[in-house]
Amino acid sequence: MKAAIFYGPNEMRLEEIEKPKINEQEVLLKVNSSAVCGTDVRIFEGKKTKGVRTPSVIGHELVGTIEEVGVQVSDFLVGDRVGVMPVIPCGKCYYCMNGRENVCQNRTAIGYEYDGGFAEYVRIPSTALKSGNIVKLPDHVSFEDAVITEPLACCLNGQKKANVKMGDVVVITGGGPIGLMHVQLSKIAGAKKVILSEPIVHRREKAIDAGADIAVDPIHESLEKIVLRETAGLGADVVIMAIGFPSLVNSSASLLKKGGTLNLFAGFTNGVLSEIDPNIIHYNEITVNGTSALTRADYHQSLALIASGQINTKVLTTTGYKLDDIEQAIDDVRTGKGMKSVISL
Predicted pLDDT at 259: 98
Interaxial angle between packed helices 201-210 and 177-188, expressed in degrees from 0 to 180 and rounded to the nearest 10 = 20
Query: Closest Cα to residue 23, out of 88, 72, 64, 56?
Result: 72
In the structure, what pLDDT confidence band is assigned to residue 284 with cuts at 50, 70 and 90? very high
Maximal CA-CA distance, the chain: 64
The answer to whether the beta carbons of residues 317 and 208 sit under 8 Å apart is no
Residues paired with 214 in a beta bridge = 195
Sign of CA dihedral 306, 309, 310, 311: positive
Residues paired with 82 in a beta bridge = 64, 136
Sign of CA dihedral 143, 147, 148, 152: positive
Q: Is 99 left (phi over 0), alpha (psi -120 to 50) or beta?
A: left
User: Residue 101 gets which letter from DSSP?
Assistant: G
Query: Closest Cα to residue 178, out of 188, 186, 189, 166?
Result: 186
Stretch 252-272: mean pLDDT: 95
Predicted pLDDT at 220: 98
In the structure, what pLDDT confidence band is assigned to residue 270 with cuts at 50, 70 and 90? confident
Domain layout of the chain by residue ranges: 2-148+316-344, 155-290
Average pLDDT in the chain: 97
User: Residue 233 gets which letter from DSSP?
Assistant: T
CATH topology identical between 2-148+316-344 and 155-290: no
Please give the Cα distance from 150 to 87 (Å, whole number): 10
Helix (H) or strand (E) holding 228: helix 223-230
CATH architecture, domain 155-290 = 3-Layer(aba) Sandwich (3.40)
Q: What are phi and psi of 63, to 5 degrees?
A: -140, 155
Stretch 6-21: mean pLDDT: 96
Q: How many CB atoms lie within 10 A of CB 304?
A: 13
In the structure, what pLDDT confidence band is assigned to residue 322 with cuts at 50, 70 and 90? very high
Q: Does domain 2-148+316-344 have CATH number 3.90.180.10?
A: yes
Predicted pLDDT at 50: 84
Predicted pLDDT at 49: 87
Angle at 272 between CA 269 and CA 274, to 5 degrees: 115
Instruction: Render the burial of 260-285: b for 16+ CB within 10 Å, e for the rest.
Output: bbbbbbbbbeeeeeeebeeebeeeee
User: Residue 285 gets which letter from DSSP?
Assistant: T
Predicted pLDDT at 157: 98
